[in-house]
Amino acid sequence: MKNNKAVYHLAFWLLAYIFWIFIFRNSTLVLTHSITIQFCYLIFIAGNYYYNSFFTVPYLLNKKRYLLFGIFFFTGILLGALLRVPVSFLISKYLFRVNTAAFNPYSVFFDSFINILFWVVIILALKLIIEKRNSQRYIEKIEREKAENELNFLKAQFNPHFLFNSINSIYAHINKSNKTARDMLLVFSEMLRYQLYECNVERIELDREINYIRNYISLQKSRIDERITVSFCVDGSNGNIQIAPLILITFIENAFKYVGFNEAKKNVIEIKLQCENGFLRFSIYNTKDLFVNPAEKSSGLGIANVKRRLELLYPDKHLLAIKETETDYSITLECLTF
């Protein structure tokens, strides 16, 4: 993208240079003189453009510091016009080799000031108009996506409600002697309630998220080989810490999905959560099944989505490290929760 942007800028200035040479060429000057004179203008106009583009506009105009913007803007034009006077004199004397006795610095300064001011204003105005149009298009796109997401969310709510009600019906028909099945269904119902009614917020108490993780682990332990050791250790959790809901569960799901049993070694899933003064450290380690059905291989979308969520929710406040070998998989997430 940066390379393309540089090419666009070079192409623009090249076209502007050619335009100035042939449109504003003085009939009394030879072509080489016009090329040199317009090149000097190009340097000062481009310099002022980038000075305003990278400094005065973003740091002064966009922040509504209009007086300072005006002062710095005209100061840049003034300096450009002043610098062009000695440059013009040196070119006339040593490059064109003309008599400089009639050289009028005041006239050169005035012409330079007007020309630089005119073209910088025109080019800068075009840039701002284009940016405004692109910004408006981006805002409209975001608004459309937001509306679509809200609609999709409303549509998605129907299925969990239906499923939640179905679970209650199934629970009522399970034989009371089958305590394990009834308990599992209750745990699943509580997890569903958490996702449906409690996760529609930006931040949630860490203790509630931990309870959801415990329920998930409880369900998964009944599915995997009982010889696989699963541990979940929490240190320092308290009600004052809040995190984005369901930000950790994808890593845990991934561990349970790919943990395998190998009689030649210890098979484990180790999950640790440490909290202290708004700093959260989450780590998970699991041994891997040496053979994974290609059809069951992860697409990586779950982990990619979590990475994107972390970038949006905790910019410059988190560090995620993922390490994978043929026999094990580990993830460490360090995050400032405030």
Query: Concatenated DSSP letters for 78-127?
Result: HHHHHHHHHHHHHIIIIIS---GGG--HHHHHHHHHHHHHHHHHHHHHHH
Percentage of residues in the chain with pLDDT exceeding 70? 82
With respect to residue 317, please indicate whether it lies within any of the assigned structural domains: yes
Residues 222 and 332 in one domain: yes
Q: How far apart are CA 82 and CA 44, in angstroms?
A: 10
With respect to residue 174, please indicate whether it lies within any of the assigned structural domains: no
Q: Show the low-confidence residues of the chain (pLDDT under 70).
A: 1-3, 24-36, 100, 150-166, 168, 172-173, 238-239, 290-301, 338
Give the end of a domain, one of 99, 116, 144.
144
- Say which residue the tokens 């008599």 belong to: 99
Residues 26 and 139 in one domain: yes
Q: How far apart are CA 201 and CA 185, in angstroms?
A: 26
Number of domains the chain contains? 2
Residues 218 and 288 in one domain: yes
CB 34 within 8 A of CB 13: no
Domain containing 288 equals 201-336
Task: Please provide the average confidence, as pLDDT, over all residues in the chain.
Answer: 81
Q: How far apart are CA 271 and CA 164, in angstroms?
A: 29
- CATH number, position 306: 3.30.565.10
Give the end of a domain, one of 122, 144, 166.
144
Residues 205 and 111 in one domain: no
Residues 20 and 137 in one domain: yes
pLDDT value of position 121 = 94
Residues 12 and 130 in one domain: yes
Burial label, 271 (beta-carbon count in 10 A; 0-12, 13-18, 19+): buried
CB 167 within 8 A of CB 189: yes
Give the end of a domain, one of 103, 121, 144.
144
CB 269 within 8 A of CB 255: yes
Q: How far apart are CA 283 and CA 285, in angstroms?
A: 7
Residues 116 and 238 in one domain: no
Residues 114 and 37 in one domain: yes
Residues 20 and 127 in one domain: yes
- pLDDT per position as a tens digit, 288-318: 876 555 445 555 667 888 888 888 888 888 9
With respect to residue 56, please indicate whether it lies within any of the assigned structural domains: yes
Residues 6 and 134 in one domain: yes
